[in-house]
Amino acid sequence: MTRDLLRVSDLSTRYFTQEGQVNAVSDLDLRIQSGEVFGIVGESGSGKSVTARSLVDLINPPGRITGGEIWYRNDDLAEGVREDHPDAVDGSFVDLRGIPEGIRNSLRGTSFSMIFQDPESSFNPSLTVGEQLAEAVEVQRRASPNPRSTRARTKSAEYSLGSYALSTVMSSKRYVSPESHDRAVELLEMVGIPDPAKRAEEYPHEYSGGMLQRAMIAQAIAGEPDVLIADEPTTALDVTIQAQVLNLLDDIQAETGMTILLITHDLGVIARMCDRVGVMYAGELVERGTLEDVFDEHVHPYTTGLLGSVPELDSAGGALTPIEGNVPSLLDAEMKNRCHFADRCPKAMDDCLSHPPEYDADGTDHHTARCVLAMREYNEADALPPDYFDASGDTDEPTQMEADE
Ligand SMILES: Nc1ncnc2c1ncn2[C@@H]1O[C@H](COP(=O)(O)OP(=O)(O)OP(=O)(O)O)[C@@H](O)[C@H]1O
Ligand code: NI
């Protein structure tokens, strides 16, 4: 029996830049079940990281979440905020966008934790790894099940994870209990750092890249979060270490039952790690479902294109080779109200000139696709002429001729 842990609906995040409004994430619906590994895959610039950061409220100006709901199941939290924020509570679910920022922040480390591609960003260079892990442990220890008292611990929660507090200047010396220190060493051992007691006394720069990646995972799980969000956790690592780190995440997941949202551009990693997957394109999830739905029953020609570009799915290193054409810019002024993939799609039809909703697709009842092919067969008679998007000027990038002038 699995239950939803996160229910995201209509989530939109925009960046308001000098060049104009960037629609980084648009009307995103997502359900993540307790204890599963959910993967998000897509080309660079498709909105994967912005999605992840939106979930944990880490969007900085000029960006802003402009709409949607993020419902998170947590009985204690629901109990604690029900009275003051009745509209943000539905049974055991709490809409994270409907509660005060202070309470939301206090969930970091204990409810949500995030690991990034670049582990340096998660550590303060002037504190030992052990101290920083112990601090992350203490945040969890201090965490009260009653969010009414979270105001007091918000500040320490901000310190807890360097990953969230890059710019925060850490106070010089904080009290760390011997228990937390012991737990820090245990965590280092758990993530496979040899001689953990000694390594705990070392500074981040004394760790190799792969070791620091492990230490960052230790830091992220120190607070025993419900959801671990891993944004390209292995991209920067060489293949052997990549496999080790994925194994580690797998083991931790099996041991703790933690829910993982795994972001990657590597379909091999998805195939190896995930229960369900969402394929992202131009700020939208264009197809989602179980691995079987997406790998064997895929509907969206973009998914087909991604899969076609991977020689062997069972092995790691199935990096995407680009599909012909370019990812759209996501600038609002340049986005047309059509299927955003139509200009690259080998099956674009007249129908694709209006923007598709998420349709239910064949397969499990989790399977959806933002593509008319979920509803109808491809018919060549309805195909758009091959030069349609060039001819109509409906392109997202300058043509070669314009660029030459
Ligand atoms: N700070 C920012 N300011 C302006 N635009 C941004 C900012 N951060 C992200 N974006 C835009 O949001 C869109 C989605 O970016 P995002 O980082 O989520 O892509 P991604 O799928 O994670 O790509 P990658 O695989 O390269 O990490 C891009 O068009 C990007 O330019
Ligand atoms: Ni990214």
How large is the average pLDDT for residues 76-102?
Answer: 97
Alpha carbon of 393 to those of 235, 237, 257, 334, 336: distances in Å? 37, 42, 51, 11, 11
The mean pLDDT value of the chain amounts to 86
- Residue-wise pLDDT tens digits, 376-389: 999 999 999 988 98
377 Cβ contact partners less than 8 Å away, ≥ 6 residues apart? none
Enter the ipTM: 0.99
Instruction: Read off the pLDDT band of 311 (50, 70, 90).
Output: low
Average pLDDT over residues 316-326: 63
pLDDT at 319: 53
pLDDT tens, residue by residue, 169-183:
344 345 678 999 999
* Eight-state DSSP code of residue 374: G
Report the C-alpha gap between 371 and 356 in whole angstroms.
6
| Model confidence at 155: pLDDT above 50 | no
Q: Which region, left, alpha or beta, applies to residue 35 given φ > 0 means left and ψ of -120 to 50 means alpha?
A: left
Contact 395, 343 (CB under 8 A): yes
- Residue 267 clears pLDDT 80, i.e. is over it: yes
Which atom number of ligand 1 is nearest to the Cα of residue 50? 18
Flag whether pLDDT at 401 surpasses 50.
no
Task: Say yes or no to pLDDT of 394 above 80.
Answer: no
Query: Residue 69: beta bridge partners?
Result: 9
pLDDT (0 to 100) of residue 165: 38
Are the C-beta atoms of residues 366 and 274 closer than 8 Å to each other?
Answer: no
CB-CB contact of 318 with 308 (8 Å): no
Atom of ligand 1 nearest to the CA of 47: 18
User: What band does 186 get if pLDDT is binned at 50, 70 and 90?
Assistant: very high
Ligand 2 geometric centre to CA of 367 (Å): 24
How far does residue 283's CA lie from ligand 2's centre (Å)?
12
Q: Give residue ranges with CB within 6 A of ligand 1.
A: 15, 17, 22, 24, 42, 44-50, 62-63, 265, 330
